[in-house]
Amino acid sequence: MAQFKEVVQRSSLHPKPVGLVLQYGTAGFRTKAQDLDHVMFRMGLLAVLRSKKTKSTIGIMVTASHNPEEDNGVKLVDPLGEMLAPSWEEYSTQLANAEEQGLLTALKDVIEKEAVNMQQEACVVVGRDTRPSSEKLSQAVLDGVMSLGGKYHDYGLVTTPQLHFMVCCRNTHGLYGTASVEGYYQKVSQAFVELTKQAPNRTDDHKHLKVDGANGIGALKLKEMEGFLQKELLVSLYNDGSSGKLNYLCGADFVKVQQKSPQGIEMLAGERCCSFDGDADRIVYYYNDDAGHFHLLDGDKIATLIGTFLKELLPKAGLDLQIAVVQTAYANGSSTRYLEETMKVQVHCAKTGVKHLHHKAQEFDIGVYFEANGHGTVLFSKGAEEKIKQQAQNENAADEKRKAAKILESTINLINQTVGDAISDMLVIEAVLALKGLAVHHWDAMYTDLPNRQLKVKVADRRVIETADAERCAVSPPGLQEAINALVKKYSLSRAFVRPSGTEDVVRVYAEADTQGNADTLAYEVSLAVY
Ligand code: NG1
Ligand code: ZN
């Protein structure tokens, strides 16, 4: 057929290295940029099929997030801005790994299995991060889209969450916002200004925030956005990409893993600072205390701050909505305890990877989800949004209730419900701190993290480890969980688990205990049990 002739012709310009096998993992495909040209072309093809199948616009983001600059990656975005459906992850892997002569068969296999109507129109939107390889790779994506006759829009340089936002806006016919970078800035900044208006007595000191842009796309986009914020946030931007290397000694992942401040940022005691990751879908906060000690406020602290804020607002607004926080096994035990015991918020544990958290959070009226590494957001059910909007406009409600409902309404507009978003999360945090009148050390003092340690163990085949109970229990190989249990028992306030990483060829070990020494020893002992 003529449409496939074009695919074959163009595919020869994006040849697959023979024998190379890649997997669509938790974060899509991710590896050295030079191995990805064929994957990009083929993801362009698959996105066209997915678009025809769903009769919606599909997104493709070219990024490798917090990985080193020489890596790259690609992720597909489903119609409402969510991660690609799992069955299509399988197709992605099959298509990416088909040798050149088997490509058409693999493609036709998807068309047949999904009964894709090839007459249906297709539309794909593409975005990319600032990596040197990203422009060429996104061209390969477009080549794939065009060779199957799909329409496309290239958003060029955008953050990952901005692309998710565009996809959602396009498929909800503007209800979620206007599908442009400016539309994003307008929606988000307007909500932020509305919220901060409710927090009087904010001085320039309160408004000041130091941001580490990881030398990536987040820095670029925050600069563009600044004018929209009407001086309600005064940003000092570091690692803005003008000289440093992407993610090198900076960014959210560096700060979280190293538990220290990024290079290039000057921190005075008590100053609020935050770091984005390389595609601006993750954020962590930190500060130095008067004694010069570094304090990290990670995804758990963020979930606790936002969860507490929302939980307190609901009764003030006269609304009876169910709120839950979703975490992973990596959440610090102190955060879980604080939420459950002090705040009386229900907490659920999901498997690592935001799609699992997102899915679980959708079960509640309001679902706050964050991975400890700073990736997360808040989801509001349609019913909850409706009730909040009604109450905000309810002439018969007391002023105080209406005011609280309006704050909730602006929070809905401020948060990016499609996916974790460093810029939008940052503005939510800044607004919550302003409204609650909290300094960063007050926020930090909500609970004290239990000392913890993460280790990576290289094994011959990490897949021999299988887990259950949201990865907190190893069910294979036999005897491993019993060994971990025996080690955990030796320490107080202790917990440990192991799981195979979804993004690296390692087994991850996590341990926490009453002292740093005990957490370190426990993690080490558990890592020995893994061999
Ligand atoms: P893996 O490699 O499966 O542990 C890591 C992070 C996840 C998530 C993904 C995707 C940890 C412990 N794991 O997954 O939270 O962000 O990468 O980027 O931080
Ligand atoms: Zn990221």
CATH number at residue 462: 3.30.310.50
pTM here?
0.96
Residues 46 and 116 in one domain: yes
- Dihedral sign for Cα atoms in the order 54, 56, 60, 65: negative
- Dihedral sign for Cα atoms in the order 351, 357, 363, 368: positive
Lowest-confidence pick of 326-340, 377-391, 418-432, 450-464: 450-464
Range of the domain at 67: 2-157
- What pLDDT digit, counting tens, does each position of 244-264 carry? 999 999 999 999 989 999 999
Ranges 83-87, 246-250, 352-356, most confident: 246-250
Nearest atom in ligand 1 to 66's CA: 18
Judged by phi (left if over 0) then psi (alpha if -120 to 50, else beta), residue 28 lies in left
CB 361 within 8 A of CB 379: yes
Q: Mean per-residue pLDDT for 238-248?
A: 96
Predicted confidence band of residue 133 (pLDDT cuts 50, 70, 90): very high
Q: Do strands 466-468 and 473-476 pair parallel, antiparallel, or not at all (unpaired)?
A: antiparallel
Residues 281 and 321 in one domain: no
Does residue 432 lie in a domain region? Answer: no
- For residue 503, what pLDDT is reported? 81
Going from the Cα of 146 to the center of ligand 2, the distance in angstroms, rounded, reads 28
Residues 358 and 391 in one domain: yes
Domain count, the chain: 4
Residues 279 and 403 in one domain: no
What is the spatial distance between Cα 494 and Cα 450, in angstroms, rounded to a whole number? Answer: 9
Q: Mean per-residue pLDDT for 198-211?
A: 91
For residue 372, how many other CB atoms are within 10 A of its CB? 26
Does residue 163 lie in a domain region? Answer: no
Does residue 412 lie in a domain region? Answer: yes
Residues 309 and 277 in one domain: no
CB 239 within 8 A of CB 250: yes
Predicted confidence band of residue 26 (pLDDT cuts 50, 70, 90): confident
Does residue 172 lie in a domain region? Answer: no
Does residue 37 lie in a domain region? Answer: yes
Residue 195 has pLDDT above 80, yes or no: yes
Mutate to test the pocket of ligand 1, among 284, 352, 419, 497 (most ligand atoms within 8 A of CB): 352
Residues 232 and 264 in one domain: yes
Does residue 356 lie in a domain region? Answer: yes
Structure tokens at 385: 């949004």
What is the spatial distance between Cα 52 and Cα 57, in angstroms, rounded to a whole number? Answer: 9
For ligand 1, atom 13, name the residue with the nearest CA.
Answer: 352
Burial environment of residue 324 by CB neighbours within 10 A (0 to 12, 13 to 18, 19 or more): buried
Closest ligand to the CA of 247: 2
SS (H, E, C) 488-511: HCCCCCCEEEEEECCCCCCEEEEE
CB 51 within 8 A of CB 118: no
Residues 130 and 257 in one domain: no
Q: Mean per-residue pLDDT for 17-22?
A: 94
Residues 194 and 244 in one domain: yes
- Residue 145's CATH number: 3.40.120.10
Mutate to test the pocket of ligand 1, among 23, 501, 510 (most ligand atoms within 8 A of CB): 501
- What pLDDT digit, counting tens, does each position of 164-189 carry? 999 999 999 989 999 999 999 999 99
Nearest atom in ligand 1 to 328's CA: 15
Percentage of residues in the chain having pLDDT higher than 90: 95
Site residues for ligand 1, CB cut-off 6 Å:
26-27, 65, 330, 352-353, 371, 373, 375, 501-504, 508
Domain boundary among 418, 444, 469: 418
Closest ligand to the CA of 500: 1
Does residue 194 lie in a domain region? Answer: yes
Does residue 167 lie in a domain region? Answer: no
Residues 23 and 126 in one domain: yes
Going from the Cα of 353 to the center of ligand 1, the distance in angstroms, rounded, reads 6
ipTM score here? Answer: 0.98
Residue among 169, 167, 11, 163 nearest 74 (CA): 163
Strands (E), 129-272: 151-157, 208-212, 234-238
Lowest-confidence pick of 192-206, 270-284, 382-396: 192-206
Name the residues annotated as catalytic.
65
- For residue 2, what pLDDT is reported? 65
Mean pLDDT of the chain: 96
Residues 145 and 209 in one domain: no
Residues 81 and 193 in one domain: no
Predicted confidence band of residue 1 (pLDDT cuts 50, 70, 90): low
Residues 232 and 338 in one domain: no
Percentage of residues in the chain having pLDDT higher than 70: 100
Predicted confidence band of residue 201 (pLDDT cuts 50, 70, 90): confident
